[in-house]
Amino acid sequence: MAISEELATLREQTLARIADASDTAALDEVRVSVVGKSGTLTAYLRNMREVPKEERAQVGKAVNEARNVIEGALDARRKELAAAELEASINAAAVDITLPGRAQQIGTRHLINRMTDEICDIFLGLGYTVASGPEIETDYYNFTALNAPADHPSRSMQDTFYVLDRSGDAAAVRGESDVLLRTQTSGVQVHVMEDQKPPIYIVAPGKVYRRDVADPSHLPQFTQIEGLVVDKGITFGDLKGTLDYFCKHLFGNDRKTRFRAHYFPFTEPSAEVDVSCGICHGEGCRFCKGTGWLEILGCGMVDPNVLEMSGIDPEVYSGFAFGVGVERVACLKYDIPDLRLLLQGDMRFLRQF
Ligand code: DAH
């Protein structure tokens, strides 16, 4: 076969293979096999010496022509395939903007923190400030300075967890540790009276601990808010007015309060405060166990001994104190039947508030 015919055949076959190439990789194979270093067309140029002299110019021209046509076709087909491949990859990675979005889970403040702030806010509005004290406390601040010395029977109501120091101190190991998880926020009263001169108007929110097994109405850890007022001429009337205002603000203006005589070692006289039941409005129902009243806090006039132990002259100053259980108030306000729900972290429960 004459060289020119061979070249024409090679050219046609190559153009057909180019048109058939289904992707850029296949196209590249065609390119390498024809116009690459050892390609079939390149071989003609390499072997030019073997072509008779008089035909060389003509063959050379035909080879170059074939190469130009083939390279042009390769180029056009590469552009076509590359565009198709790009489109395919864009389609594959496309986002379906009609799908509903994935909403971020938004947390809520825990009911106990919200209640704590709500209670403190009522007193902030009356000009009180917020104080705080340590959760790991000494026996002195938790009991002794609150008029409950070591042998006082009221201590047995508030058993707690004692803390051993790291040295493994022998007395601590025998259970005679002086360091404990506080059972009440009342110790903050003592810290404040030691550090500040009257007039004192504070509320002190915080966690407290008792050696209790969790049940619907007891938790081994809960939250209290302590209140303390020390000033000249403070009377039981101030205490009653303040706590009545507090209860109405928290539960609603239609609620009544009553004070029942009680005992606390650090106040004299002492009282427990009940608020009228919001469900039966005082008629008596299951929620208030038929009494028409719900107990919400303890309070009293600060015992002169307590003032004196903290360096305040009871001849000059008098005061009142109170302690509110935040979980209890939350349960009364939102009809929660079991205190343990507040500690379980179940979002289905907590999101309601
Ligand atoms: N600390 C008391 C308790 O945990 C509550 C209490 C009662 C606090 C009377 C007071 C108070 O400040 O005056 O049971």
Q: pLDDT tens-digit profile of 85-111?
A: 999 999 888 888 888 888 888 878 899
Ligand 1 nearest atom to the CA of residue 267, by list position: 13
Pocket test for ligand 1, best of 191, 202, 266, 301 (most atoms within 8 A of CB): 266
- Mean pLDDT in residue range 16-42: 92
- Mean pLDDT in residue range 320-331: 94
- Mean pLDDT in residue range 294-308: 96
Distance CA 205, CA 106 (A): 26
Cα 228 to averaged position of ligand 1 atoms, centre (Å)? 10
Cis bond before residue 134 (omega within 30° of 0): no
> What whole-number percentage of the chain has pLDDT above 70?
96
Angle at which helix 111-124 crosses helix 236-251, to 10 degrees, equals 130
Indicate the length of the chain as a whole number: 353
What band does 52 get if pLDDT is binned at 50, 70 and 90? confident
Backbone angles phi and psi of 229, in degrees to 5: -125, 125
Query: Which residues are registered as beta bridge partners of 257?
Result: 275
Look at residue 165 in the predicted model and tell me its pLDDT.
66
Angle at which helix 326-334 crosses helix 111-124, to 10 degrees, equals 100
- Mean pLDDT in residue range 107-121: 93
Pocket test for ligand 1, best of 299, 303, 320 (most atoms within 8 A of CB): 299
pLDDT tens per residue, range 177-236: 788 999 999 999 999 999 999 999 999 999 999 988 988 888 999 999 999 999 999 999
Distance CA 156, CA 158 (A): 5
Q: Is the confidence at residue 71, as pLDDT, over 90? A: yes
Cα 350 to averaged position of ligand 1 atoms, centre (Å)? 28
Alpha-carbon dihedral angle through residues 16, 21, 24, 29, given to the nearest 10 degrees: -70
Which of these ranges, 64-68, 226-230, 332-336, has the smallest mean pLDDT?
332-336
Give Cα 128 distance to the centre of its chain.
29
Give Cα 138 distance to the centre of its chain.
31
Cα 299 to averaged position of ligand 1 atoms, centre (Å)? 6
Cα 321 to averaged position of ligand 1 atoms, centre (Å)? 8
Cα 23 to averaged position of ligand 1 atoms, centre (Å)? 83
Ligand 1 nearest atom to the CA of residue 183, by list position: 4
Q: Is the confidence at residue 336, as pLDDT, over 90? A: no
Look at residue 119 in the predicted model and tell me its pLDDT.
97
What rounded mean pLDDT belongs to the chain?
Answer: 91
pLDDT tens per residue, range 144-175: 999 998 888 888 778 888 887 666 665 655 55
Look at residue 168 in the predicted model and tell me its pLDDT.
63
- Per-residue tokens: 310: 């903290």
Cα 184 to averaged position of ligand 1 atoms, centre (Å)? 7
Look at residue 175 in the predicted model and tell me its pLDDT.
57
Residue type, 206: G
**Three-state DSSP class for 95?**
coil
**Three-state DSSP class for 228?**
strand
Ligand 1 nearest atom to the CA of residue 323, by list position: 8
- Per-residue tokens: 123: 């007193």
Cα 323 to averaged position of ligand 1 atoms, centre (Å)? 4
Distance CA 31, CA 18 (A): 9
- Mean pLDDT in residue range 236-258: 94
Look at residue 212 in the predicted model and tell me its pLDDT.
87
Distance CA 304, CA 230 (A): 11
- Mean pLDDT in residue range 273-297: 88
**Three-state DSSP class for 21?**
coil
Residues with CB under 6 A from ligand 1: 184, 186, 226, 264, 267, 298-300, 321-323
Q: Is the dihedral of CA 24, 77, 36, 15 positive or negative?
A: positive
- Per-residue tokens: 285: 């129902």
Under 8 Å between Cβ of 165 and 179: yes
Angle at which helix 236-251 crosses helix 326-334, to 10 degrees, equals 50
Which of these ranges, 64-78, 202-216, 247-261, 337-351, has the smallest mean pLDDT?
337-351
Q: Is the confidence at residue 1, as pLDDT, over 70? A: no
Give residue for tokens 């179940």. Answer: 346
Look at residue 215 in the predicted model and tell me its pLDDT.
87
